[in-house]
A and B are shown apart, each in its own frame.
Chain A
Amino acid sequence: MLSRTAENLYWLARYVERAEYLARTIDATLRVTALPAAYIGKTNEWDSALLTAGVAASFYQQYEEANEHNVVDYLSFSADNPSSIRNCIEAARLNSRSVRTALTSEMWDTINSAWIELQEVWSRGTSTREDLAKFLRFVQETSLRFDGSAYRTMLRNDAYWFSRMGLHLERADNTARILDVKYHVLLPEEEHVGGPLDFYQWTSILRSVSALTAYHWVYRETLKPWLIADLLILNDTLPRSLASCYGNLVRNLDQIGVAYGRQGPAQRHARGIRNRLEHSNMNDIFQHGVHEFIQEFISDNSRLGEIITKQYLI
């Protein structure tokens, strides 16, 4: 297939995944900030939301204060924020238009109708909490529909694999970013100083990766920070965990390798990251520093993005 087509499919999936992740983050932050101050301590959750979205620096160039109004506006509707939900959806539509021939009609319809529907939201904004909640739900549903139509209607060929690769790479990045911002509340009990206030932080983290129920099924335990870290990093049964994302990335890259009859640096690099995740346990990770581990992962993951681009997309 054309390199440009592969590139568009890959980025299309990334944009949709990112839009969903932002919607989840805002959703989770709204819930935790709705609690009485006594339950969440002094941290500014809206500031964390900006950090996990990776846009704190550009935000403060425009705004003084990270409060609900400003952050929701910046993450959802801002035309200046290249990673706002709005710009993700616009970019997804533009990408879809340029690769229409590689999309199934169900996928195109999902993106195009969402785009049509949201034009009105862009011009009006959301005036009430209810409006906002509806909007956030709509964005998440669009991503689910897109994902579902890709899964159910695409031919299992390179177009599908490139699209999946974009999704898993973006997803791994998102999960890692939450961990990066929140790692301090996940440290083992003896090391951290948050106390019972952190319970709400933990639920909030799990909610933003839609893993709250999953946690209880997997561990049958009350919320424990190191188990949360274990779930998000190493448990490959959780679709948003780093381990699961890399299991999929390695698989997709292998499928491409087989179809093209050739492996390359992307396959090797992805396998390296997966092996490291497979052979780690939480004890070691904590011993060597969660923060370092996560930071290293984030840079390895973005390195894979660059390698894929070089090997296939240009």
Chain B
Amino acid sequence: MAVAFDEMNIPGGDLRPAYQELARWLKETPPEALEYRRQEAELLFRRIGITFAVYGDSESTERLIPFDVIPRIMSGKEWSLLEKGLKQRVRALNMFLRDIYHGRDILRAEIVPADLIFQNPVFRPEMNGQQVPHDVYVHIAGIDIIRVDAEDFIVLEDNARTPSGVSYMLENREIMMRLFPDLFARHRVAPVERYPDELLSALRSVAPQSASGEPTVALLTPGVYNSAYYEHSFLADKLGIELVEGRDLIVKNNEVFMRTTEGVKRVDVIYRRVDDDYLDPLTFRPDSALGVPGLMSAYAAGNITLANAVGTGIADDKAIYSYMPEIVKFYLGEEPILKNVQTWRCREPKDLAYVLDNLNELVVKEVHGSGGYGMLIGPAATKATIEAFREKLKREPEGFIAQPTLALSTCPTCTASGLAPRHVDLRPFVLTGSKSTTIVPGGLTRVALKEGSLVVNSSQGGGTKDTWILDE
């Protein structure tokens, strides 16, 4: 495994320009002061109730995501490159989805194999030929970005279903501004606070034609026991829209209404944080109590916009991921600005043979897995685990992809033994409305707090950092 790219220090002892002021400040600030503010931050998180639930963890159902007070900093120049790349990527994702559910040019051109689409459980035949307002499928995308050198940004994963984490981007900034006003005064950090406004305008812009002049938007949550519930209530609050559960909605004559104290009221756009499978028990899982019976028929009738659209999973599936560079070129005729991680598709015999031979060096992921579960990290795994994975791979090769073990870049992070480099990734949030695609400068930086660990997922010991884009 290569040496990780250090975002603060240049080998040889110099600092990267974006970090110079932070380094000066750190030198002036005693470690106790940092520790004190770290504790204060934790107290704030707990009081505000910014918690998440870990499934299958009966001990404490609400946990805090550890927050690291050292910001991760990027220069404005780096950001503009990343921003351009993200917009390009999301444009391609939307065009791909429109094509898959309509003309399927890309399959005829044999860029993506058809069985990868049609045999994929996240492909939704219900969406075939269905018109979605303004052809926007992915209104909110969370693209996971990693760095391995100073030049490139690499996409680790496209999250095109119901990406979460944006509340942390916003709350981390709030808390940092409260705790470190002095540090902010010494930097020009691009603000993130207009995210809720931009999200609301994006959602309003895609209202169906049958909506009234002032479309009504609601956020659909699975409820208080969902791991991201805090975020749902936070966003509904910031957007000033109702936070609804399935039982608050009813469908009449193919229109969606919410039950209010003054009778029912029509809803035009649903920012849904419920997975496809649970949206409508009449169409998908009949045992779902989270959904709204009849929602899909209202959707088919064009009376409600769902954001994100149904069936977007086919675009962020790990099996499709490896085709993304070709997908970008196919629809946009441009070279992809963001790179992909080299990926071996285990469904292809040649790739599978290579993967089986090099298991101890590779990361193997389930095609339909998420959250860092069901993953093999070769270099860190025991012999027994590797052998168990070998069997799984042979039994069901199409269920897996493999990637080289990447040295994610590192940022200085508070640890028990002082500041030390820890691996990070970044999830910026890309909003697509009827007219424009916008990204607030920043995103959620996740950090693997354990020394040497590459797993940044909050369910597995990851923390978060505030992400600063310097306005130059």
Q: A: which residues have CB within 8 A of B?
A: 1-6, 94, 97-98, 100-101, 108-109, 112-113, 116, 158, 162, 256, 260, 262, 312-314
Q: Which residue of chain B is the closest to A256 with respect to CB atoms?
A: B261
A4 x B248 contact (CB < 8 A): yes
Indicate whether A260 sits within 8 Å of B224 (C-beta atoms), given known contacts A4-B245, A100-B233, A116-B46: no
Selected from A6, A94, A162, A256, the residue in CB contact (under 8 A) with B224 is A94
B233 x A158 contact (CB < 8 A): no
Indicate whether A6 sits within 8 Å of B261 (C-beta atoms), given known contacts A94-B224, A97-B49, A109-B47: yes
Selected from B49, B224, B258, B262, the residue in CB contact (under 8 A) with A108 is B49
Q: Which residue of chain A is the closest to B242 with respect to CB atoms?
A: A2
For residue A101, which residues in chain B have a CB less than 8 angstroms away from its CB? 233, 236-237, 242-243
A113 x B237 contact (CB < 8 A): no
B216 to chain A, nearest CB (A): 12
For residue B244, which residues in chain A have a CB less than 8 angstroms away from its CB? 2
Instruction: Choose among A98, A112, A256 the residue with the greatest number of B CB atoms under 10 Å from its CB.
Output: A98
Cβ of B229 under 8 Å from chain A: yes
For residue A313, which residues in chain B have a CB less than 8 angstroms away from its CB? 261
C-alpha gap A98/B224 in the complex (Å): 6
A96 to chain B, nearest CB (A): 9
For residue A4, which residues in chain B have a CB less than 8 angstroms away from its CB? 245, 247-248, 259
Cβ of B417 under 8 Å from chain A: no
B223 x A3 contact (CB < 8 A): no
Q: Which residue of chain A is the closest to B234 with respect to CB atoms?
A: A100
Selected from A2, A116, A262, the residue in CB contact (under 8 A) with B260 is A2
Instruction: Choose among B233, B244, B259 the residue with the greatest number of A CB atoms under 10 Å from its CB.
Output: B233
For residue A3, which residues in chain B have a CB less than 8 angstroms away from its CB? 248, 259-261
Q: B: which residues have CB within 8 A of A?
A: 46-49, 223-224, 229, 233-234, 236-237, 242-245, 247-248, 258-262
A97 x B229 contact (CB < 8 A): yes
Q: Which residue of chain B is the closest to A112 with respect to CB atoms?
A: B49
Selected from B229, B247, B261, the residue in CB contact (under 8 A) with A158 is B261
A1 x B243 contact (CB < 8 A): no
B250 to chain A, nearest CB (A): 11
Indicate whether A113 sits within 8 Å of B47 (C-beta atoms), given known contacts A4-B248, A97-B229: yes
- In the A-B complex, the 4 residue pairs with the closest CB atoms: A100-B233, A101-B237, A312-B261, A3-B259
C-alpha gap A101/B224 in the complex (Å): 13
Indicate whether A112 sits within 8 Å of B47 (C-beta atoms), given known contacts A2-B258, A4-B259: yes
Q: Which residue of chain A is the closest to B62 with respect to CB atoms?
A: A97
Apart from A97-B49, A100-B243, A260-B261, 8 more pairs, CB < 8 Å: A1-B260, A3-B260, A3-B261, A4-B248, A101-B237, A112-B47, A112-B49, A260-B262
For residue A94, which residues in chain B have a CB less than 8 angstroms away from its CB? 224
C-alpha gap A112/B49 in the complex (Å): 7
C-alpha gap A94/B234 in the complex (Å): 16
For residue A112, which residues in chain B have a CB less than 8 angstroms away from its CB? 47-49
For residue B261, which residues in chain A have a CB less than 8 angstroms away from its CB? 1-3, 6, 158, 162, 256, 260, 312-313
Instruction: Choose among B233, B234, B260, B261 the residue with the greatest number of A CB atoms under 10 Å from its CB.
Output: B261
For residue B262, which residues in chain A have a CB less than 8 angstroms away from its CB? 260, 262
Q: Which residue of chain A is the closest to B245 with respect to CB atoms?
A: A4
6 CB-based A-B contacts, threshold 8 Å: A3-B261, A5-B242, A97-B229, A97-B233, A100-B243, A162-B261
For residue B46, which residues in chain A have a CB less than 8 angstroms away from its CB? 116
Instruction: Choose among A3, A5, A101, A113 the residue with the greatest number of B CB atoms under 10 Å from its CB.
Output: A101
Selected from A98, A108, A116, A162, the residue in CB contact (under 8 A) with B223 is A98
C-alpha gap A42/B249 in the complex (Å): 57
Q: Which residue of chain B is the closest to A262 with respect to CB atoms?
A: B262
For residue A158, which residues in chain B have a CB less than 8 angstroms away from its CB? 261
B77 to chain A, nearest CB (A): 38
Selected from B49, B224, B229, B248, the residue in CB contact (under 8 A) with A2 is B248
For residue B242, which residues in chain A have a CB less than 8 angstroms away from its CB? 1-2, 5, 101
For residue B247, which residues in chain A have a CB less than 8 angstroms away from its CB? 4
C-alpha gap A242/B177 in the complex (Å): 49
Indicate whether A100 sits within 8 Å of B259 (C-beta atoms), given known contacts A2-B242, A4-B248, A108-B49: no
For residue B259, which residues in chain A have a CB less than 8 angstroms away from its CB? 2-4, 314
For residue B245, which residues in chain A have a CB less than 8 angstroms away from its CB? 4
C-alpha gap A98/B229 in the complex (Å): 9
C-alpha gap A314/B263 in the complex (Å): 10
B284 to chain A, nearest CB (A): 23
C-alpha gap A296/B323 in the complex (Å): 74
Q: Which residue of chain A is the closest to B236 with respect to CB atoms?
A: A101
For residue A256, which residues in chain B have a CB less than 8 angstroms away from its CB? 261
For residue B243, which residues in chain A have a CB less than 8 angstroms away from its CB? 100-101
For residue B236, which residues in chain A have a CB less than 8 angstroms away from its CB? 101
C-alpha gap A262/B49 in the complex (Å): 38
For residue B223, which residues in chain A have a CB less than 8 angstroms away from its CB? 98
C-alpha gap A64/B261 in the complex (Å): 46
